[in-house]
Chains A and B, each alone.
Chain A
Amino acid sequence: MYDFKVANTVATACIGDRLPRFASSHDDIDTAYTLTLDDDPIVCKLIEEFLGVKNFSFSSAQDLLRSSELFRPTGIFIDVHLAKNECGLDVIPQVRKCWPDAPIIVITSDDSNDHIGQALAAGANDFILKPFGASELIARLSSRREELKDRNSQWIVSYGDLELDLQKKILSSPLGQVYISSKEADIFAYLVRQSGIVVEKGIIKRHVWGSVKVSDNALERKIFEVRKTVRTLSSKVEIKTVYGKGLVLRLNSFACDQELLEDKEVLLGVSSLWEGRGDTTY
């Protein structure tokens, strides 16, 4: 059985002072792994050894795509030339669809601009030329991961225990996730930005639909859907109607406020700081 911990420790050790780290502090050491689509076992082995994490290799695009439900890789490497009559570039859009958060790095032994340009246009994040060294491989994967993380974080709006992915239009909480329409997502995101403030319905209309005329009925239907989804996913967050004034997104009780605050304190390590201060007398 592959020992991820040992592999990652070694990876960190081999990276040392001269090479950048592959696994960032956000990565779970036990679950960091990569996927490689290449029919050359040498390349697959080199990637695994250089990165120091398990690398699952596939020689056919079909097999890789079939496994999309099973894996959440930290990076995907695709060779341009696969088996006879199969080109790695053709599969990039499908791979991107399966793993939108994982950087795709194309491997090639030809330094032709055509291949590199096509790879990037198809949705790859970077390319690497053979022969490649450990430091280049780690550096490219790490920086592309950071870029994707930054880009994706711009699409995330969170409030309480709810998180909205504006790109995928998914509202989620520890209880589950629900796909919502584009307009519902815009309404929720706007309410999050104005959370705690009563917002007039007319302002929501203007913000979400712009100059397009929308009936009150249509707006009410959308708000009804958003409210229903919020109720399904969270008992801590509510959209409250303030009659005659508008809507407000808020945490629905003081107890929930406290609970969420405590969760955040644990995450931030604030609790331990306060424990440490217990001995101090003023």
Chain B
Amino acid sequence: MTQLIDRESIASIKKIGEIRNKDLLGEMLHIFNAQFNQCLGELNNSIQVADSDNIKYLAHKMKGSCKSIGAEALANKCLEMENLDLADELSYKKNMEALYTQVEKTYESTKEELEIASGAVLAE
């Protein structure tokens, strides 16, 4: 089973932060949080109109951000979204909505884990 966060990626960012005497992980998580929330909003709108092109684009972008920050499980959920093909609009929308809920849930648990890892509280 995929782990929620990749400790190695987190440790790598933390280490550079320590050497540079700054809370680099905290900064990165702040950017990640802002970016991810914005994408979630756009994704929700795109699902409502079944805009599969934009969904694929957003899911890919979110996946990349997740991988960079070490949010492994969330990256996999985004990949599922990216790979979901538009067979017929109704089932696509239904499946995508279900995936969206999973992404939201995974994001919440990932956020908690990342907060613990960084020792910082992410801004809402």
Q: Which of B20, B60, B70 has the most CB of A within 10 A?
A: B20
Q: Give the docked Cα–Cα distance between A42 and B24 (Å).
A: 11
Q: Which of A16, A130, A132 has the most CB of B within 10 A?
A: A130
Q: Say whether A40 contacts B13, CB under 8 Å.
A: no
The main secondary structure of chain B at its interface with chain A is helix
Closest 7 CB pairs of A and B: A14-B19, A130-B67, A133-B12, A109-B64, A131-B9, A84-B57, A131-B67
Q: How far in angstroms is the closest Cβ of chain A from B78?
A: 10
Q: Given A10-B20, A39-B61, A40-B61, A45–B53 Cβ distance below 8 Å?
A: no
Q: Which residues of A come within 8 Å of B, CB atoms?
A: 10, 13-14, 16, 39-43, 45-46, 49-50, 52, 79, 81, 83-85, 109, 130-134
Number of chain B residues close to chain A: CB under 8 A = 29
For residue B106, CB closer than 8 A to chain A, the reply is no
Q: Say whether A131 contacts B19, CB under 8 Å.
A: no
Q: Say whether B20 contacts A14, CB under 8 Å.
A: yes
Q: How far in angstroms is the closest Cβ of chain B from A160?
A: 46
Given contacts A45-B28, A49-B16, A81-B57, 13 further A-B contacts (CB under 8 A): A10-B20, A16-B19, A40-B61, A40-B65, A45-B31, A49-B13, A79-B64, A109-B60, A130-B68, A131-B6, A131-B69, A132-B68, A133-B12
Tell me which residues across on chain A come within 8 A of B31, comparing CB atoms. 41-42, 45
Tell me which residues across on chain A come within 8 A of B57, comparing CB atoms. 81, 83-84
Tell me which residues across on chain A come within 8 A of B61, comparing CB atoms. 39-40, 81
Tell me which residues across on chain B come within 8 A of A43, comparing CB atoms. 64-65, 68
Tell me which residues across on chain B come within 8 A of A45, comparing CB atoms. 27-28, 31
Q: Give the docked Cα–Cα distance between A53 and B64 (Å).
A: 22
Q: Say whether B70 contacts A131, CB under 8 Å.
A: yes
5 intermolecular pairs with C-beta atoms under 8 Å apart: A14-B15, A40-B65, A41-B31, A46-B13, A133-B9
Q: Say whether A84 contacts B53, CB under 8 Å.
A: yes
Q: Give the docked Cα–Cα distance between A83 and B112 (Å).
A: 30
Q: How far in angstroms is the closest Cβ of chain A from B74?
A: 12
Q: Say whether A14 contacts B16, CB under 8 Å.
A: yes
Q: Give the docked Cα–Cα distance between A16 and B12 (Å).
A: 14
Q: Give the docked Cα–Cα distance between A264 and B114 (Å).
A: 56
Tell me which residues across on chain A come within 8 A of B75, comparing CB atoms. 109
Least CB separation from B63: chain A residue? A109
Q: How far in angstroms is the closest Cβ of chain A from B113?
A: 15
Tell me which residues across on chain A come within 8 A of B64, comparing CB atoms. 40, 42-43, 79, 81, 109, 130
Q: How far in angstroms is the closest Cβ of chain A from B16?
A: 6
Q: How far in angstroms is the closest Cβ of chain B from A54?
A: 14
Tell me which residues across on chain B come within 8 A of A131, comparing CB atoms. 6, 9, 67-70
Query: Which one of A16, A40, A81 lies within 8 Å of B68 (CB-CB)?
Result: A40
Q: Say whether A81 contacts B9, CB under 8 Å.
A: no
Q: Given A131-B70, A133-B9, A42–B19 Cβ distance below 8 Å?
A: no
Q: Say whether A84 contacts B67, CB under 8 Å.
A: no
